[in-house]
């Protein structure tokens, strides 16, 4: 018991210090470690396995929509980056440059990719000539580098893993359809697989991606009431196409510019999983993304037949689930704490008395409910428990988000909500950037998105009192 208590005490209570709780969890659950390069993280097996599951399931969904994977170079010549003015200005402060190679000073600086729009545009300008070449639906899984001043594991680091989709279309309508299609795909994935409910909407012009005509976003609410941008999808129109000369001959033999999109999700989403579902004992992983869904823990494993039975259960369950046996020589109490720290959805306790009674004790990680299950029904019951857990984790996250979403119809209400009610604040906006900037200056809250599901809360802008144009979700964010 002393060891078990010590393991849990290693985590700061989220009520006392949420930021420290988060750091403790990612370290103690062995998701990451710090590297010798400032702001660069080492993804350990427990953390990388979560990303592998995200990658595997997202990649399958992309391919169902016709997307193909490619891989682009990690270096971008400066001249190529300079072709789209707004884009290069937007990324300039975060760019890392290579100036030497093989001991020789380079004739042209190379940018370490912060994102790959320019590389894809260069490719499309060479391979798109006719309407028959369209659409181009490409995606790459890679890492990017952004020279961040302040870093935090998963949420913001100098180098991070992600996917970036880049598509080219014949018409503006096709590009807009693809932009929203991918945003909806992200939102559905987060709800169905990660058990995280999302607000879908459009970013304001101030917050949109550098060089985009429109940026759409999915926004999640963390346990501490801060928002997290969890995935974005951008409609570039024909701006990049004109900068890079991406033209095609249409069916009417006219030369036209393509319309492009870009969309991405990164390892930042692992931070969302931690902060939406975690508790003071560590991670709570949704079953559909958990690297290990079931941990079999033998009780009194030194006794004859116990380990054999544990391995037998593992082999039976491995047909339908991701299962491991903890056969280390640690105490059962320590194993329970370790399983909880790592967020493994279900543990199965099996000991001599259980074997004699042809049963096992199944324990849910999220509620800690203990269920005695006949060994004859184990596969069925484990499946039912995991499905129930997945569903209830989403319901709890949605209930938390809704309970921490306020409505403000005047500026005093708005400032009070931001200061005293952590979470989203719904309020009307006139559409003027001056009000958006004033709100950020006065409250540190930013516009998260203009949701697709609009409500008319009042006819006046919450900040200036002029005629309102749209309802916006506001909030403090990571």
Q: Is residue 6 part of a domain?
A: no
pLDDT for the residue 8: 53
Domain end residue (candidates: 250, 277, 304): 277
CA-based nearest residue to 163, from 211, 210, 213, 233: 233
Give pLDDT, residue 259. Answer: 98
Spell out the residues 6+ positions from residue 400 whose beta carbon is closer than 8 angstroms to its own. 221, 223, 276
For residue 270, is it within any domain? yes
Residues 219 and 319 in one domain: no
Is residue 135 located within the same domain as residue 273? yes
**Co-location of 301 and 178 in the same domain:** no
Query: Do residue 146 and residue 262 come from a single domain?
Result: yes
Q: What Cα–Cα distance (Å) separates residue 149 from each residue in 144, 157, 231, 245, 377? A: 16, 9, 22, 35, 54
pLDDT in the model for residue 149: 86
Decide which of 331, 355, 385 is a domain's last residue: 385
The pLDDT value given to residue 86? 73
3-class DSSP string for 405-443: EEECCCHHHHHHHHHHCCCEEEEEECCCHHHHHHHHHHH
Is 144 in the same domain as 258? Answer: yes
Tens of pLDDT, residue by residue, the chain (478 residues) = 444 455 556 799 999 999 999 999 999 999 999 999 999 999 999 999 999 999 999 999 999 999 999 999 999 999 998 887 776 677 778 899 999 999 999 999 999 999 999 999 999 999 999 999 999 999 999 999 999 888 999 999 999 999 999 999 999 999 999 999 999 999 999 999 999 999 999 999 999 998 899 999 999 999 999 999 999 999 999 999 999 999 999 999 999 999 999 999 999 999 999 999 999 999 999 999 999 999 999 999 999 999 999 999 999 999 999 999 999 999 999 999 999 999 999 999 999 999 999 999 999 999 999 999 999 999 999 999 999 999 999 999 999 999 999 999 999 999 999 999 999 999 999 999 999 999 999 999 999 999 999 999 999 999 999 999 999 999 999 9
Looking at 334, 356, 385, which one is the last position of a domain? 385
pTM over 0.85: yes
Say if residues 227 and 475 touch (Cβ distance below 8 Å): yes
Looking at the fold, whether 135 and 241 belong to one and the same domain comes out as yes
Check which CATH number belongs to the domain holding 367 and give it: 3.40.50.800
Q: How far is CA 311 from CA 306, 308, 325, 374, in A?
A: 9, 5, 7, 17
**Which CATH number covers residue 89?**
3.30.930.10
Closest of 349, 385, 381 to residue 367, by C-alpha:
385
Residue 288 lies in a domain: no
Total count of domains within the chain: 3
- Cβ neighbors of 128 (< 8 A, separation 6 or more) are 134, 136, 168, 246, 247, 248, 258
Residue 165 counted as domain residue: yes
Q: Are strands 405-407 and 424-429 parallel, antiparallel or unpaired?
A: parallel
pLDDT score recorded for residue 167: 98
The reply to whether 272 falls in a domain is yes
Q: What is the pLDDT of residue 266?
A: 98
CATH of residue 453's domain is 3.30.110.30
Q: In the prediction, which pLDDT does 69 show?
A: 98
Residue 284 lies in a domain: no
User: Both 158 and 231 in a single domain?
Assistant: yes
Contact 218, 230 (CB under 8 A): yes
Same domain, 18 and 52: yes
Residues 259/175, Cβ–Cβ less than 8 Å: yes
Write the DSSP string, 204-233: -TTTS-TT-SEEEEEEEE-TTS-EEEEEEE
Together in a domain, 84 and 54: yes
The answer to whether residue 282 sits within a structural domain is no
Give a yes or no: residue 309 inside a domain.
yes
Q: What is the per-residue pLDDT for 9?
A: 62
Interatomic CA distance for residues 122 and 82, integer angstroms? 12
> Do residues 327 and 220 share a domain?
no
pLDDT at 1: 42
Which pLDDT does position 7 carry in this prediction?
Answer: 55
Query: Are 273 and 303 contained in the same domain?
Result: no
Residue numbers of the domain that contains 366: 294-385
Per-residue confidence (pLDDT) for residue 6, from 0 to 100: 52
Residue at token pair 């931070």? 271
Residue 271 and residue 195 share a domain: yes
Q: Which residue has tokens 């490619």? A: 70
């Amino acid at each position: 018991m002393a060891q078990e208590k010590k393991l849990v005490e290693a985590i700061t209570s989220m009520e006392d210090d949420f930021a420290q709780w988060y750091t403790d969890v990612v370290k103690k659950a062995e998701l990451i470690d710090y590297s010798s390069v400032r702001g660069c993280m080492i993804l350990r097996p427990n953390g990388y396995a979560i990303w592998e599951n995200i990658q595997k399931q997202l990649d399958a969904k992309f391919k169902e929509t016709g997307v193909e994977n490619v891989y682009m170079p990690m270096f971008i010549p400066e001249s190529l980056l300079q072709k789209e003015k707004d884009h290069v200005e937007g990324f300039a402060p975060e760019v890392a440059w290579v100036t030497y190679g093989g001991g020789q000073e380079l004739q042209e600086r190379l940018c370490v990719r912060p994102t790959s729009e320019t590389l894809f545009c260069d490719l499309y300008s060479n391979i798109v000539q006719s309407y028959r070449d369209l659409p181009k639906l490409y995606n790459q899984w890679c890492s990017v580098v952004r020279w961040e001043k302040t870093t935090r594991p998963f949420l913001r680091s100098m180098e991070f893993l992600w996917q970036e989709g880049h598509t080219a279309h014949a018409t503006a309508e096709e590009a807009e359809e693809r932009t929203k299609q991918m945003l909806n795909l992200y939102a559905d994935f987060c709800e169905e697989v990660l058990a995280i409910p999302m607000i879908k909407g459009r970013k304001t012009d101030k917050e949109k991606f550098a060089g985009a005509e429109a940026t759409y976003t999915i926004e999640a609410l963390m346990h501490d009431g801060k928002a997290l941008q969890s995935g974005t999808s951008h409609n570039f129109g024909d701006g990049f196409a004109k900068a890079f000369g991406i033209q095609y001959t249409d069916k009417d033999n006219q030369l036209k510019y393509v319309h492009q999109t870009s969309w991405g999700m990164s390892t930042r989403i692992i931070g969302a999983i931690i902060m939406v579902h975690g508790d003071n004992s560590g991670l709570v992983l949704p079953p559909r993304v958990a690297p290990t869904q079931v941990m079999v823990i033998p009780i009194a494993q030194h006794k004859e037949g116990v380990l054999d039975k544990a391995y037998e259960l593992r082999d039976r369950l491995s047909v339908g689930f991701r299962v491991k046996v903890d056969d280390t020589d640690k105490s059962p109490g320590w194993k329970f704490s370790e399983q909880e720290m790592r967020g493994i959805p279900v543990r199965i306790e099996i000991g001599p008395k259980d074997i004699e009674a042809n049963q096992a004790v199944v324990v849910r990680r999220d509620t800690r409910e203990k269920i005695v299950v006949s060994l004859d029904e184990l596969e069925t019951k484990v499946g039912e428990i995991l499905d129930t857990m997945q569903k209830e984790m989403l319901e709890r996250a949605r209930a938390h988000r809704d309970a921490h979403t306020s409505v403000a119809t005047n500026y005093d209400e708005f400032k009070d909500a931001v200061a005293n009610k952590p979470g989203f604040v719904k309020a009307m906006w006139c559409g003027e950037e001056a009000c958006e900037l004033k709100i950020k200056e006065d409250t540190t809250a930013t516009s998260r998105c203009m949701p697709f599901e609009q409500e008319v809360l009042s006819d006046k802008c919450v900040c200036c009192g002029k005629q309102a144009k749209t309802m916006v979700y506001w909030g403090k964010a990571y």
